[in-house]
Amino acid sequence: MEPIRDERELVATLESLRPGPRDEFIAELDERAGAGFPPASRPRLASVQRLRQHLVARPRRRLPAIAAGAAVSAIAVATAVIAVSEGPQSRSRTSPIGTAPERLAPTTPAGGAGGVAPSPSRAAPAGTAAPSAAPASGSGPYAAQAERRKVEHSTSIVLEAPPSELRADAARVFDAVREYDGIVLHSSVSGGPEGGNASFDLLLPTARLGDAVATLSEIADVVSRQDSSQDVTARSIGLSERLADARARVAGLLHQLADAETEAQRSAAEAELHIARRRLAAIRSRLSALERRVHLSSVSLRIEGDSGAAGSESSWGIGDALRAAGHVLAVAAGVTLVALAGVALPALIILLLWLGRRALVRRSRKRALDSAH
């Protein structure tokens, strides 16, 4: 047989080898195509298949828009819920110090000696452990020592009130100090119809400091509040030990004086005794001052008369609106960030898995052709 002479002949022969489909198959396929390639015969899959076809038939670009819309709606709802539940953050009228004892005394667990009592405890002696209804934050090996710790507290409060209410508010300060057995070290009130201020330097019993500050905070709008504390237990112990040493020294010198046999010995003992007694007095004075600072906390209170301050809770200004808007935006940004963080990692994992699977399928398809017979 003659070999195939040229490429044209080869191509023609090749084309003649083109397989054709069966007529029955063509008819069946035409029918299915006419019906829009209906889903499989099992009826319970039909609705799923139709839904799938409906989703797949939608232009792809709509799906990200739908997903974005759903995400924005969810963020908006979460923002509204959080913003409403938190409420406006500034101008809090009540922020009782007693509810956050940890902030006040980092070295003193709640209810510690000299610390702030979370609840009124008029019977508790000042400077010692106050019975606390709140659970002690310390539960470690030093919790048992909490009652013996000594802490100095100081608080600074700034309130804001309409100038017309300044004097009445000042009077309420005096009433509050009296109620809690405190001391007004210094006070001044000045102002007029346009503005003014009142300032107070107070000493309040530490055991009732929380309640006292809460009462003072209710007098007008709180603009700012600062609390500080210092643990002086070590200093107190040191002074107490030095006091004991000084007493022992005085006692020893008194014995020495009683045993003196000569005038010279007596003079020497008296001179040393004089010095020892002066030192004892000084130590005693320092310890007393420390104890006083522990038992009586200093509070600096200032009331600023501001004609723009809200006299009643119903007034609402541009500043309040801007603050509220800022608060809502901050919450929305926070919710969005949290949502993105929560979604990003799973989405990344899914994306990586999907890409990996696609790469695997692509590679195995290539291999399939090479390994075909």
Partner 1 sequence: MSETLAASAEEAPAGYLDFDELYRSSRNDVYAYAAGLLRDRAAAEDITATAFERAYRKRSRFDARRGSARAWLFGIARNAALDELRRRGRLAELIGEPVDLATSPASSQSGEQAERRILVAAALERLEPRERELLALKFFACLSNAEIASLLGTTESNAGTMLHRTIAKLREACHGAD
Instruction: Summarize as ranges the residues that interact with partner 1 (CB under 8 A).
Output: 1-4, 7, 9-11, 13-22, 25-26, 29-37, 53, 56-60, 364-373
| Residue with smaller CB distance to partner 1, 29 or 289 | 29
Copy the structure tokens of residue 298.
Answer: 């200093």
CB of 4 to partner 1, least distance (A): 5
| Residue with smaller CB distance to partner 1, 33 or 264 | 33
CB of 42 to partner 1, least distance (A): 16
Single out the residue of 365, 320, 339, 360 nearest to residue 88, CA to CA. 320
CB of 38 to partner 1, least distance (A): 10
| Residue with smaller CB distance to partner 1, 52 or 103 | 52
| Residue with smaller CB distance to partner 1, 56 or 144 | 56
| Residue with smaller CB distance to partner 1, 35 or 258 | 35
CB of 336 to partner 1, least distance (A): 31
The Cα–Cα gap between 296 and 307 comes to 34
Q: How many CB atoms lie within 10 A of CB 222?
A: 19
DSSP 200-263: EEEEEEGGGHHHHHHHHHTSSEEEEEEEEEEE-HHHHHHHHHHHHHHHHHHHHHHHHHHT--SH
Copy the structure tokens of residue 38.
Answer: 């209906």
The Cα–Cα gap between 166 and 159 comes to 10
Single out the residue of 300, 303, 301 nearest to residue 166, CA to CA. 303
CB of 360 to partner 1, least distance (A): 11
Burial zone of 353 (CB within 10 Å; 0-12 exposed, 13-18 middle, 19+ buried): exposed
The Cα–Cα gap between 310 and 213 comes to 21
| Residue with smaller CB distance to partner 1, 62 or 93 | 62
CB of 87 to partner 1, least distance (A): 49
